[in-house]
Amino acid sequence: MYVFRGSRVVLGGCLAFSLLLAAGLGVGGCGGSDDGGGGGTEPLPCAITNVSIGTQTSWLIGVDGDMNVRWDHQGSATAVRIDLLKAGAAVAVVAASTANDGFHTWVNPSTASQPDGDDFGLRVTALGEAGCAGEKTGLTLTDVSDCALTWAMADLDSVIAGGSLSLDWSSQMTGGLLDIELWQDDLGGEPRLVGLVAADTPDDGQFTWDPVDSFHFGTNEWFFLRLSATIVPGCDATYGPFKMVDDVLCACRVSGFRAGSAFSELEVVGLDLEQDFGSGRVDLRLLAGAELVPGGIIADNVPVNEAYEWTVSDYGYTGAERTRFRIRAVDAEDGYCVGQSDVFTIR
């Protein structure tokens, strides 16, 4: 442009800049209105956003491994600091300085000796940029790195089913919930899970098993109890062997036809249902071999000690076990009280 000053004409803006360059004179750049005349594009303001540890919001220290911290960034900062937060306050340094590339692997994460909880967080701060930081809050960290369980009961001589028994233990870093299972192992084969005594019971050192139950396994001298941390694989303790006396056993029976009988679809078959020491009602399911037929729900809550008329159906079964169908009866209130019929064919 031209600027008139008195009787002189002054060349301004980029025209003057171009003429000076042609004259071999070094001058500042010719920028647009957004660069202050310094040339190029000004850097974006510093920002750290979208801090995360992926799709998870909870972490089991000692189980889930290393933690990958991610964030989005803009600006010229080349390095960041990462801090662990507890209730919004920094309690440990995850990384004093790491590249501002949006990714950092936290090797062997920890709670920094803070109590487990859902109020942890991470703060990513750009170094050299005052006030440029981003946070992820609401993280649940649970330290189970030194999970341990120990039974704390006197030796059991003989346990009577139907009574009560106090189960006692000591523990550390279990995550707060435990499972208790009854197993049987006579050392002559693979250990067998007999039944679930308790699931997700609080880890407070004591559980009253009432009533004691063999889950209809019966009297045996080779029972074991297994105590395990619900969320920590491999953290468990075994107690036993001990003897349990259980002579009152629930049993279900399904009859009304000869073994090997053959039935046609929609044929009506009378089933005789019997039960000992049960609730008096059973749920009926169709088996093919040893497996439940998908959708093979014959009936629920059927009274025992009387006939039940079943309209024969394979419930859409397409497998190969057509000569090895059975009907399973399960006590309507006790899933461990089970019986089944002889095999039959559906034509």
pLDDT tens string 2-30: 333 343 444 444 444 444 444 444 444 44
Strands 158-160 and 236-245, by their bridges, are: parallel
pLDDT in tens, 244-254: 999 988 999 99
pLDDT in tens, 93-123: 999 999 999 999 999 999 999 999 999 999 9
Cα first-last separation, the chain:
100
Shared domain for 73 and 32, answered yes or no, is no
Residue ending a domain, choose from 204, 227, 245: 245
Q: How many domains does the chain have?
A: 4
Shared domain for 270 and 313, answered yes or no, is yes
39-48, 110-119, 193-202: the lowest-pLDDT one: 39-48
Shared domain for 152 and 241, answered yes or no, is yes
Shared domain for 123 and 163, answered yes or no, is no
Examine the pLDDT at 44 and tell me if it is beyond 50: yes
pLDDT in tens, 115-167: 999 999 999 999 999 999 999 999 999 999 999 999 999 888 889 999 999 99
Shared domain for 127 and 169, answered yes or no, is no
Shared domain for 134 and 178, answered yes or no, is no
Q: What is the average per-residue pLDDT within 43-47?
A: 92
Residue ending a domain, choose from 214, 245, 276: 245
Shared domain for 157 and 241, answered yes or no, is yes
Shared domain for 62 and 131, answered yes or no, is yes
Find the domain containing 290 and state its range.
251-346
Shared domain for 240 and 193, answered yes or no, is yes
What pLDDT is attached to residue 280?
95
Residue ending a domain, choose from 121, 143, 165: 143
Identify the CATH number of the domain in which residue 117 sits: 2.60.40.10
Q: Which two tokens stand for residue 101?
A: 């590339």
How far apart, in whole angstroms, are the C-alpha atoms of residue 227 and residue 244?
18
Shared domain for 56 and 113, answered yes or no, is yes
What is the pTM assigned to this prediction?
A: 0.71
Which secondary-structure segment (H or E) carries 15? Answer: helix 13-22
Q: What single-letter amino acid sits at 158?
A: S
| Neighbouring residues of 116: CB distance < 8 A, sequence distance ≥ 6 | 140, 141, 142, 143, 175, 176
Shared domain for 177 and 130, answered yes or no, is no
ω into 241 cis (within 30 of 0): yes
Shared domain for 52 and 67, answered yes or no, is yes
Identify the CATH number of the domain in which residue 278 sits: 2.60.40
